[in-house]
Chains A and B, each alone.
Chain A
Amino acid sequence: MKEVIKLEEETKTIEVGEDIFKLNEKMAEENKKIFEKYGIKAFDVMGSVGAGKTSLIEKLVEKLKEKYSIAVINGDLATTVDADTIGKHGIRVVQINTGKECHLEAYMIKKALEKINLEKINLLFIENVGNLICPSDFKLGTEKRIVVISVTEGQHVVVKHPLTFLSADIVVINKIDLAEVMGVNLDKLENEIKNINPNIKTVRTSCKNGFGIENLIRLLNL
Chain B
Amino acid sequence: MHEYLTTKQIVESVLSEAEKHGAKKVLEVHLTIGKLTVLGIEQVKFYYELLTKETIMENSRLIIEEEEPLVECENCGYKGNIHFEMEDVYHFLIPTLTCPKCGKTVKIVKGKEVLVKSVKVVVEEKNV
Which residues of chain A in 1-26 are interfacial with respect to chain B, using CB atoms and an 8 Å cutoff? Answer: 5-23
Complex CA distance for A19 and B122, rounded to whole angstroms = 23
Q: Does A136 contact B (CB under 8 A)?
A: yes
The dominant DSSP class at the A interface is mixed
- Contacting residue for B95 out of A9, A23, A136, A196, CB 8 A: A196
Q: Does B62 contact A (CB under 8 A)?
A: no
Complex CA distance for A217 and B37, rounded to whole angstroms = 30
- Contacting residue for B121 out of A14, A131, A134, A156, CB 8 A: A14
Q: Does A79 contact B (CB under 8 A)?
A: no
Cβ of B115 and Cβ of A20 under 8 Å apart?
yes
Cβ of B2 and Cβ of A18 under 8 Å apart?
no
A133: nearest chain-B partner, CB-CB: B38
Given contacts A159-B87, A163-B95, contact A8 B126 (CB under 8 A): yes
Q: Does A102 contact B (CB under 8 A)?
A: yes
- Contacting residue for B36 out of A7, A11, A159, A166, CB 8 A: A166
Query: Residues of B within 8 Å of A, CB-based: how many?
Result: 47
Query: Residues of A within 8 Å of B, CB-based: how many?
Result: 38
Q: Does A197 contact B (CB under 8 A)?
A: yes
Complex CA distance for A133 and B1, rounded to whole angstroms = 8
Residues of chain B with a CB closer than 8 A to A6's CB: 128
Complex CA distance for A10 and B38, rounded to whole angstroms = 37
List residues of chain B with CB under 8 Å of any chain A CB.
Answer: 1-2, 5-6, 9-10, 13-14, 17-18, 21, 23, 25, 27, 36-39, 85, 87, 90, 92, 94-98, 104-105, 108, 112-128
17 contacts across the A-B interface (CB closer than 8 A): A7-B125, A7-B126, A7-B127, A12-B121, A13-B120, A14-B21, A14-B23, A14-B119, A16-B117, A19-B116, A20-B13, A21-B37, A23-B9, A134-B38, A136-B38, A159-B92, A199-B97
